[in-house]
Amino acid sequence: MSHLLLLVPFLAVVFLNLLPKRARGAALWVSFGVLGLEAAAAFVERFSSIDSSAFAWLESVFGFRLAADHLSGLAMLCAGLVGMVALLVARRTLKDAGEKFFFANLVLVALVGINGIAMVRDFFSLYVFVEVTAIATFILITANRNAASRNAASRSAASRGNEVFEGAWKYIILSVIASVLMLTSIGFFLLSAGDVTFDAVKSTLGAPGSLTWVALALFLCGLFVKGGLVPFHGWLADAYTAAPAPVSVFMAGIVTKASGIFALLRIVSSTMGSALPGREILLVVGALTIVVGAFLALGQSNMKRMLAYSSVSQMGYIVLALGGDLRLGILAAGLHFFNHAISKSQLFANAAAIEEQLGTLNMDEMGGLGARMPVTAGTTAVATLSIAGLPPLAGFWSKLLIVLALWNAKEYGFAVVAILASLVTLAYFLSLQRRVFFGKTHPKWTHVHEAAPGLLVPVVALALITIALGIGFPFVLRVLLGGGA
């Protein structure tokens, strides 16, 4: 039945392109429906099983070797929710019908890529689906560069176009470098393990002086680039800032996480286990990413750039968790993956609402918007406090589990880094809240009013999920541990 997760979005793309031109306005809603099904499918137990007699014929036609498990369900849920939010933001912020149509198509193509990443069981297929996602995203960034130019009220269109160019260029060049690293490692896997499946690689990792470790290190470096981890984070802020609002939501919410961090999560849970060299790499890269990302975020004036560097820092937490106690670390990483996907899409959607009203994202020009945009201010506060790890919001629990995973593994120093960096996170988010929403309203913004309902509905829904997950966390944890996550 896992096959449906690849085939349904693919067939939806085919269907959309067979529609007559006058019916193409429905594309966003068709995509929305597919993403809704995707989010719902995450809760269907049968997707956790490879064998399902009702869909056995699919497996006889398509010889895909897929396996959906609880981790796949997590990626599917995030992709479904974030994709739906991105489509609602696109409906409001993309002005041209053609742009909306292509956005809906490319989100579906990226969705197939994400589902593939979530379910594959070998390194080469993982690489292929990471590329599917990367190429669809790259087109999404560049495709709307003229729209970005038009929408930029406070700067010259040429300057904005150049930013998009730079962001997209850095993204594609670093993506290709990551591909080279991953392909080289696949060659080494074939030489040392004779196969590229996770099981075959795992069986050779124990051998002393194994070439497989070199291959694994190269593959991890490729994923570090895709996930924007330090020292490969150079592309991320430019790409997020340059991309149109719905693309930023989609990229920050799921694309970067799925193609970099989720793939890492999958590899660690399937191959590395508690093997020491792998753990040390993850701990060092994770801690470095948390600290560098947090301090870079602290110095930003552009709201999207601050959110982008904050994403870098939070990805570091997920990687750090994987270096801790294995079982607890994977659970903590998975939960932080979900929490961050929800909160960061919420924040980028709010940034889109602010940009729509003000025409700028320069926080030095803002102030006092809380009185004029109370719902946007409130949902921003929920998301930022959750990411900073304040109780009782969802982010508090995932960060607590990360610290516990490190403590259980006797990595006390890294646990302290995780706690202290949370204070820096709180500092830059309080600075954002103060500069954007608190204080007296600047005379320039007296015309500003609350965002349109089309932008408010998704962020309010995500804020409610963050609060509910935080309050009901003991129940959620019991279900997850019972499900053997």
Footprint on this chain of other proteins (rule: CB under 8 A): 6, 10, 13, 62-66, 98, 102, 105-106, 109, 112-113, 116, 120, 124-125, 128-129, 131-132, 135-136, 138-139, 142-143, 145-146, 165, 168-169, 172, 175-176, 179, 183, 186-187, 190-195, 209, 211
Instruction: Give which of 104, 209, 100 is closest to 147, Cα–Cα.
Output: 100
What does the block give as tokens for 188? 């080494």
Q: Is the dihedral of CA 421, 426, 432, 435 positive or negative?
A: negative
- When the beta carbons of 255 and 332 are compared against other proteins, the nearer one is 255
Q: What is the 3-state secondary structure (H, E, C) of 183-217?
A: HHHHHHHHHHHCCCEHHHHHHHHCCCCCHHHHHHH
Counting every residue written for the chain, the total comes to 485
Shortest Cβ 167–other proteins spacing (Å): 11
Closest distance between other proteins and the C-beta of residue 111, in Å?
10
Which tokens in the block code for residue 189?
Answer: 């896997």
Say if CB 234 and CB 206 are below 8 A apart: no
Least distance CB 99 / other proteins (angstroms): 8
The nearer residue to other proteins, 63 or 474, going by C-beta atoms, is: 63
Q: How far is the CB of 101 from other proteins (least distance, A)?
A: 10
Of 166 and 365, which has the nearer Cβ to other proteins? 166
- Taking the C-alpha atoms of residue 120 and residue 36, their distance in angstroms, rounded to an integer, is 22
Measured from the CB atom, is 139 or 467 closer to other proteins? 139
To the nearest whole angstrom, how small is the minimum distance from the Cβ of residue 189 to other proteins? Answer: 9
Q: Give least dist CB 253 to other proteins, A.
A: 19
The three-state DSSP-derived secondary structure of 323-344 is: CCCHHHHHHHHHHHHHHHHHHH
- Which residue's CB is nearer to other proteins, number 174 or number 424? 174
Closest distance to other proteins from the beta carbon of 23 (Å): 18
Report in angstroms how near the CB of residue 17 gets to other proteins at its nearest. 9
Closer of 64 and 407 to other proteins (Cβ): 64
Sign of the Cα torsion 441, 447, 450, 455 reads negative
Nearer to other proteins, 102 or 396 (CB): 102
* Of 255 and 469, CB closest to other proteins: 255
Give the nearer residue to other proteins in terms of CB position, either 195 or 356. Answer: 195
Please tell me the distance from the alpha carbon of residue 282 to that of residue 289, in angstroms, as a whole number.
10
Q: Give backbone dihedrals phi and psi of 179, rounded to 5 degrees, phi first.
A: -60, -40
- 362 phi/psi in degrees, rounded to 5: -75, 110
Dihedral angle of Cα 341, 455, 348, 430, to the nearest 10 degrees = -100
Instruction: Write down the least CB distance from residue 131 to other proteins, Å.
Output: 5
Q: How far is CA 293 from CA 205, 298, 306, 428, in A?
A: 32, 9, 9, 11
**Residue 430: HSE in the Cβ half-sphere, 13 Å Cα cutoff:** 9
